[in-house]
Amino acid sequence: MNERKQASERVAPVLEVKDLVAEYGETRILEGVSFSVYKGEILVVLGKSGCGKSTLLRNITRLVEPAAGSVKYWGREVTNLEEDELYGILRRIGISFQGGALFNSMPVFDNVALQLRERTNLPEETIKALVMIKLSLVGLADAAYYMPSDLSGGMRKRAGVARALALDPELLFFDEPSAGLDPVTAAGLDHLIIDLRRLLGVTIVAVTHELDSIKTIADRVLMLDNGGMAFLGTLGEALACEKPAVKNFFTRGEFV
């Protein structure tokens, strides 16, 4: 019995989305999106600009309410949860927003410490130690007391990652992690994502249309096109796929 239970836990998805519908006002953006994400993998959500990648991310994290469909984390439906119940689930999730989304009025240290101060009863000395650990993980220990305006684009994104790691999440979301960065800085961020998976054992969902990033970090890919799913499978399967939308994306036969 225990062996069967352990086996089922290994294959149970961390995140399961079924028949998701996303709308803005009366405009339907996505329909019929279904996929699962499993412990320890990196799933990349890709597609052309405007295809709904970031909309999907906002809906499955309930920053925006889905119009219809099911979203489950660790087997629990979250679309019908009240805020206090939802927090118990979201406590296990970290989100690194596009551009870092730092508070410009406070230094990097306080940006990372904010959730620890608001969501825990830890003493300040413990919070300081934890923040410095997170900043060290992303290579920003020496920039702890810089203001966001003093950071480069790549440093801002790394600071955003450190903030997403503050509460030791089991699942990390990245929204366009390497967008707007030069190739060297973008590659460094890609390798940081891989290192976080290796060092922390986190599961990762990354939204991007950057080919180099996709080929570096993805275990599986979910491609969105024309308001729905164009492809779901391994990176190798995607690269070999002859479906026009998928092939054109990876050969850049279409604008992205």
Which pLDDT value is given to residue 117?
Answer: 95
Q: pLDDT band at 5, cuts 50/70/90?
A: very low
> Is residue 159 assigned to a domain?
yes
What is the average per-residue pLDDT within 118-122?
92
Extract the tokens encoding 31. 């329909």
Identify whether 3 is part of a domain.
no
pLDDT the model gives residue 178: 84
Percent of residues, the chain, with pLDDT higher than 90: 77
The verdict on residue 73 lying in a domain is: no
Whether the Cβ atoms of residue 111 and residue 159 lie closer than 8 Å to each other: yes
Q: H helices within 152-233, ranges in order?
A: 153-164, 183-200, 211-217
User: Residue 74 has what DSSP assignment?
Assistant: T
Q: pLDDT-based confidence at 143, cuts 50/70/90?
A: very high
**Is the pLDDT at 106 greater than 90, yes or no?**
yes
Mean pLDDT value across residues 47-61: 91
Q: What is the domain extent for residue 165?
A: 39-65+81-251
Q: Tell me if 6 is assigned to some domain.
A: no
Domain count, the chain: 1
DSSP 8-state code for residue 51: S
169-226 per-position pLDDT tens digit: 999 999 988 888 899 999 999 999 999 999 999 999 999 988 999 999 999 999 999 9
Supply the CATH number for residue 204's domain: 3.40.50.300
Q: Is 28 within the bounds of a domain? A: no
Residue 11 belongs to a domain: no
Edge-to-edge strands, sheet with 171-175:
93-96, 171-175, 203-207, 42-46, 220-225, 228-234
Question: Is 21 among the domain residues?
Answer: no
Strand partners, 95: 173
User: Positive or negative CA dihedral for 225, 217, 206, 5?
Assistant: positive
How buried is 4 (Cβ within 10 angstroms: 0-12 exposed, 13-18 middle, 19+ buried)? Answer: exposed
What phi and psi, each to the nearest 5 degrees, are found at residue 37? -125, 135
To which H or E segment does residue 224 belong? strand 220-225
The rounded mean pLDDT for the chain is: 90
Residues in the chain, total: 256
Q: Is residue 26 situated within a structural domain?
A: no
